[in-house]
Structure 1
Amino acid sequence: MPGRVTQAGAHARLCADAPAAADLALRPEQPDDLAWLQELYASTRSDELAPVPWPEAAKRAFLLQQFALQRTHYRQQFADADFLIVQASGLSIGRLYLHRATAHHTLVDISLLPDWRGKGIGSQLIAHAQACARDAGCALSLHVLHANPAARRLYARHGFVAGDSTQTHLQMHWHPRDHLLS
């Protein structure tokens, strides 16, 4: 049976169902999620920092600093975005940050805890973001690290095409008119 993404909370804006591997719920971030979000962020950087010969305390301080900088940047650049916690069976397993401007949506961030990666949940969240853009009749874009070829392949499988590139990131675009059902 196809999964679906549901949203709850004051800032929830429902989109069309998105088929996928599991039933998920989205809820707005709350102030008491901060420590958990720091751990989630750290889990997304663990492979990158594993070979770095720093003491664990230095790695932790670096990750906290990087998390704070990213959080500030996202809230400045996408102040009115949906900052959502992804839940499965009431358990927080990730985050989805989606900015819905009138003419264009931006998939700001998808992060999942390690045990929840590779299970189709990222695909479900991408499909949900695409459904939101399709419902609004607008394009969806994102930025992906050049150092993350697996994510680039995932987005390409979902119909995203490469756009502009910087030294560190590739911008990718998706538009519903390019994916109309026959």
Structure 2
Amino acid sequence: MNNKIQLPDGLGIRLANTSDNAFIEQLFNSTRQFLDLADAETDYLNMVKSHQLQLQTESYGQQSPDAMTFIIDKQGTSIGRMVLDFGKNIVHIIDIALIVDARGKGYGKSIIQAVQHIALKQSLPLGLTVDVRNLKARQLYASLGFQLAEAHDIYQFLLWYPTANRIQV
């Protein structure tokens, strides 16, 4: 039985399992490249990144205990991770990250549109949080119909409301 959702461009989404832990750690570390600029030993920096991943995982578990972690792949090769929470009143993308080589190619857009399609079918809004400094992501989310719901110093919470004419999957 294949538990993977197939998307355009050879993309797929499947539930993560323990064999994905090494990939998830590698992916997380690729989003923390700024730490590599620090004047510190490599072993220490790796320990810091590992600790940050552990704290992030625990935080997600506490804030959204029913959230599910998915692996995004392209033609069978893991290229990203997405953490989703299907609540009673909202679908929430808690986190989405792609490997460096997969960024800027429209894959994230396709994945988010797939989640929008799911939210549309459930007649639920879709929410996500974005760093205010991440202009590319904010522009992408705006182009997909997300609207500002809450503004904070370092992040914004955006919502997309399901309407039949807004999404093409």
Q: Distance in 2 between matches of 1:54 and 1:165?
A: 34
Q: Which residue of 1 aligns with 2:52?
A: 66
Q: Which residue of 1 aligns with 2:142?
A: 156
3-state DSSP class of the match of 1:164? strand
Q: Distance in 1 between matches of 2:166 and 2:96?
A: 25
Q: CA deviation at 1:178?
A: 8.5
Contact in 1 for aligned 2:145/2:166 (Cα 8 Å): no
Instruction: Pick from 146, 152, 159 the counterpart of residue 166 of structure 1.
Output: 152
Instruction: Pick from 90, 98, 103 the counterpart of residue 89 of structure 2.
Output: 103
Pair 1:51–1:179, CA change in 2 (3 A): farther
> Does the alignment pair 1:123 with 2:109?
yes
* Segment drifting more, 49-58 vs 163-172: 49-58
Measured against aligned partners, the alpha-carbon deviations of 1:129-174 in whole angstroms (never above 9, x if no partner) come to 1111101001011111122121111111111111212222111111
Q: CA deviation at 1:32?
A: 2.0
Instruction: Pick from 7, 28, 32 the counterpart of residue 45 of structure 1.
Output: 32
> Does the alignment pair 1:89 with 2:89?
no
> Does the alignment pair 1:146 with 2:129?
no
Stretches of structure 2 lacking an aligned partner (at least 5 in a row): none
Q: Distance in 2 between matches of 1:177 and 1:32?
A: 38
Bigger RCO (CA 8 Å, 6+ sep): 1
Q: CA deviation at 1:56?
A: 1.8
TM-score normalized with structure 2 length: 0.89
Q: Distance in 1 between matches of 2:133 and 2:29?
A: 17
Q: Distance in 1 between matches of 2:62 and 2:97?
A: 19
Q: Distance in 2 between matches of 1:144 and 1:100?
A: 19
TM-score normalized with structure 1 length: 0.83
Q: Distance in 2 between matches of 1:122 and 1:180?
A: 17
Q: Distance in 1 between matches of 2:165 and 2:35?
A: 38
